[in-house]
Amino acid sequence: MTTSPFLTLHELVKKARQKLNHDNWDYIVGGTETETTVRRNRLALDSIAFQPRVLRDVSRIDASTEFLGHSLRLPVFLAPVGGLEHFAAEAGAAAAKAAAQFGISHMLSSVCEPGLEAVAQAAPDALRIYQLYVHGDADWVDAMAARAIAAGYDAFCLTVDSAYYSRRERDLAKRNIRRDNVPGREFQARFTWSDVARLKSKFAIPLILKGIATKEDAVLALEHGVDMIYVSNHGGRQLDHCRGTMEVLPEIVAAVGGRAPIMIDGGFNRGADIVKAIAAGASLVGIGRMQCIGLAAGGEAGLTRLLEILEQEIRLCLGLLGVNTWAELDPSYLHPAHPVGTGGTLDAFPLLALDEKSFY
């Protein structure tokens, strides 16, 4: 039995909301302009129903997986999040330690404290991936790749959906201007496939492109030697009016045809969401906002607790679907359905108001 005060994910969401000021809350939950992409991520998940099978022996559930030579407790990773220092004292180090302690993979953002070497020291044994925003010329990018390799990172990730910083209107409306004027940001807009090829030819570390949103770019990535395809629209924080990532995933799975593992993020807030992505052909699912929620609610312990609850949801979901392992799942367990929500960031937590309305 747990000693944690949190039994459900919505309790962690509520605690995080209580602890964060309005600016930091909006920074987490917000997206670009009309926030249509944010909603489409959630609606794409909400538009899939399960087709469970029954009367099978599901007494040996195993939710673990293998990735980059590491055994992981769940097919989940902490998506790169900049500015974690706004939510938890140790920032990226707290997230990496929670990932290591729980047994999942961590991806560190290049705009997150305390930096790549300190995070590597905090969690030396975790499966660690370093994500870079291109804020300098080719020499600068190469130097960052060399530093990530020297610090023992298992893979290097370039975020490619951020040629420009978007208009986050929740922040703008409050004059809470965050990263518009980062030095070197202009290099991101000039970055092209030839830079990807150059990096691939110079460094042996596995390369991931984060922000692939079409089957055409997934195929181009493979042609440029990219090792893993990361399907993402930045959680609806960059280009508005994108398709939900879960809607695009089947096309990308088909185009990649098993030639590379596929990572995905965007609206994966519950265990069932993660199960849907793996059934549709993804290998690993990233959590962005939920990571912030866990850290804001209770630091490293809060994030670890969030992962424990996600694991309970996932294991139960697998058993009730009629499978023991990920390998048994395939798209036949999924079916198109009418969404029940409107795609709001908190749609996955319909009981948030429960104690205020006890007859709800």
> Which one of the listed residues 10, 234, 241, 338 is annotated catalytic?
234
Contact between 235 and ligand FNR per CB under 6 A: yes
Q: What minimum distance in Å lies between the beta carbon of 161 and ligand FNR?
A: 8
Cα 165 from chain centroid? 19
Contact between 292 and ligand FNR per CB under 6 A: yes
98 and 294 Cβ atoms separated by less than 8 Å: yes
At residue 253, what is the residue type? V
| Structure tokens belonging to residue 86 | 């706004």
Angle at which helices 36-46 and 245-256 cross, to 10°:
70
Q: What minimum distance in Å lies between the beta carbon of 214 and ligand FNR?
A: 16
- Residue 329 gets which letter from DSSP? -
Q: Out of 92, 136, 244, 267, which residue is the one contacting ligand FNR (CB under 6 A)?
A: 267
Three-state DSSP at 265 gives strand
* Choice between 300 and 347, CB closer to ligand FNR: 347
Binding mask 202-231 for ligand FNR (x = CB under 6 A): --------x---------------------
Helix (H) or strand (E) holding 186: helix 186-190
Contact between 153 and ligand FNR per CB under 6 A: no
Contact between 234 and ligand FNR per CB under 6 A: yes
Q: Out of 80, 244, 322, 343, which residue is the one contacting ligand FNR (CB under 6 A)?
A: 80
Give the interface segment with ligand FNR, choosing from 52-60, 88-96, 281-289, 322-330 (CB under 6 A): 281-289
* Choice between 132 and 323, CB closer to ligand FNR: 132
- Residue 234 gets which letter from DSSP? G
231 phi, psi to nearest 5 deg: -80, 120
Q: What minimum distance in Å lies between the beta carbon of 31 and ligand FNR?
A: 9
Contact between 271 and ligand FNR per CB under 6 A: no
Contact between 109 and ligand FNR per CB under 6 A: yes
Minimal CA–CA distance to 32: which of 127, 186, 169? 169
Q: What minimum distance in Å lies between the beta carbon of 260 and ligand FNR?
A: 19
335 is catalytic: no
| Structure tokens belonging to residue 102 | 């729980």
* Choice between 81 and 151, CB closer to ligand FNR: 81
* Choice between 234 and 270, CB closer to ligand FNR: 234
Q: Out of 13, 48, 81, 253, which residue is the one contacting ligand FNR (CB under 6 A)?
A: 81
Binding mask 30-49 for ligand FNR (x = CB under 6 A): -----------x--------
Three-state DSSP at 134 gives coil
Q: Give dist(CA 104, CA 98) in Å, integer.
A: 9
Q: Give dist(CA 176, CA 170) in Å, integer.
A: 8
207 and 196 Cβ atoms separated by less than 8 Å: yes
Question: Helix/strand/coil (H, E, C) string of 274-312?
Answer: HHHHHHCCCCEEEECHHHHHHHHHHHHHHHHHHHHHHHH
Three-state DSSP at 77 gives strand
Q: Out of 35, 240, 265, 313, which residue is the one contacting ligand FNR (CB under 6 A)?
A: 265
* Choice between 304 and 345, CB closer to ligand FNR: 345
Angle at which helices 245-256 and 271-279 cross, to 10°:
30
Contact between 244 and ligand FNR per CB under 6 A: no
66 and 103 Cβ atoms separated by less than 8 Å: no
Q: What minimum distance in Å lies between the beta carbon of 24 and ligand FNR?
A: 9
> Any idea which residues carry the catalytic annotation?
234
Residues lying near ligand FNR in the complex (CB under 6 A): 27-28, 41, 79-82, 109, 111, 131, 159, 210, 232, 234-235, 237, 265-268, 286-289, 292
